[in-house]
Amino acid sequence: MPHPAEIEEFNERIRRAVSGNPPVERRIWVTSLSRCLRKTALSIYLNTYSPSKSWEARIGSALHGWLGEVVKGAEFEVPVEYELRDGWKLVGRVDAVKGPYVLEFKFMGFEKKDRDSPRVKKNHDLEHAEPSKEWVEQINAYMGMLEKERGYIYIFDRNGLEFRVFEVAFDEGLFRRFIKRAERVIEAVEELERGRFPTWISTVGNKKWVCRSCPFRPICGAIDRKWLVEEE
Ligand code: SF4
């Protein structure tokens, strides 16, 4: 007797995992769509994506955990999903949701290197802190996925945990453009599955510095970013 479709699909996953050829996870993390879409596509295709490996991310998640423990009064670490096409999902984890508001917590280490400089630069200290474009588009994406109209980005000074709060109103156009990025990643993964390299997709904006710390540098250096190899 044939098994139900869900069981057959699960069995196929086991077979592919055992044969060392696990299926492509049809999930795209919100946080992976702000820097390089080619990197996101390659990470999904090669099954290497991990949303938070850097030491800063680890400190951030420890502090988020602490905040959730001591502050309470909100839902913390809320998983979110948004259906894309053909079983693909945009996924993420919102730092907190309080009633109709989405909250994101950012912990910054202000170094105050040029304390004596007459010009105080952005993010020199908490007083001059500003949410980055990436943070705004990510909280906006969470608002779109959760159908919320307003969010707040909290910026904490890691030394002492003083904080400032920045309000963000939902921007439908920005959300649509963000979803378009996810759709381009899907097309790029499909192209990789057909055995072609998606040269038409790369960093979001001209961010050469993103490439310098990317594990796929040798691949892009061999294909269309020769300067990456020349720099080594
Ligand atoms: S090397 Fe640059 S273009 Fe290539 S995947 Fe990495 S970040 Fe993207």
Mean pLDDT of the chain, nearest integer: 86
For the beta carbon of residue 21, count every other beta carbon within 10 angstroms.
9
Which of 45, 217, 227, 228 has the most ligand 1 atoms within 8 A of CB, as the residue to mutate?
A: 217
Compute the average pLDDT of residues 96-103. Answer: 94
Secondary structure tally for the chain: helices H, strands E? 8, 6
Q: Alpha helices, DSSP H only, in the chain?
A: 5-18, 37-45, 55-71, 133-146, 172-193, 208-212, 217-223, 226-230
pLDDT at 229: 78
Evaluate whether residue 86 is within a structural domain: yes
Flag whether pLDDT at 94 surpasses 90: yes
Q: The domain containing residue 82 runs over which residues? A: 56-200
For the segment 107-161, what is each residue's pLDDT rounded down to a tens digit? 888 766 555 666 667 777 888 889 999 999 999 999 999 999 999 999 988 887 8
Evaluate whether residue 60 is within a structural domain: yes
In this structure, what are the phi and psi dihedrals at residue 26, rounded to the nearest 5 degrees?
A: -85, 55
Evaluate whether residue 111 is within a structural domain: yes
Number of structural domains the chain divides into:
1
Quote the CA–CA distance of 52 and 10 in Å, as a whole number.
27
In this structure, what are the phi and psi dihedrals at residue 184, rounded to the nearest 5 degrees?
A: -65, -35
CATH number at residue 153: 3.90.320.10
Evaluate whether residue 173 is within a structural domain: yes
Query: How far does the centroid of ligand 1 lie from the alpha carbon of residue 145, in Å?
Result: 27
DSSP, collapsed to helix, strand or coil, labels residue 58 as: helix
Evaluate whether residue 144 is within a structural domain: yes
Evaluate whether residue 213 is within a structural domain: no
* Pairing, β 89-98 against β 27-29: parallel
DSSP, collapsed to helix, strand or coil, labels residue 156 as: strand
Flag whether pLDDT at 86 surpasses 70: yes
Q: Whose CA is nearest to atom 5 of ligand 1?
A: 39
Tell me the pTM.
Answer: 0.83
Task: Kindly state the tokens that stand for 157.
Answer: 């000074």
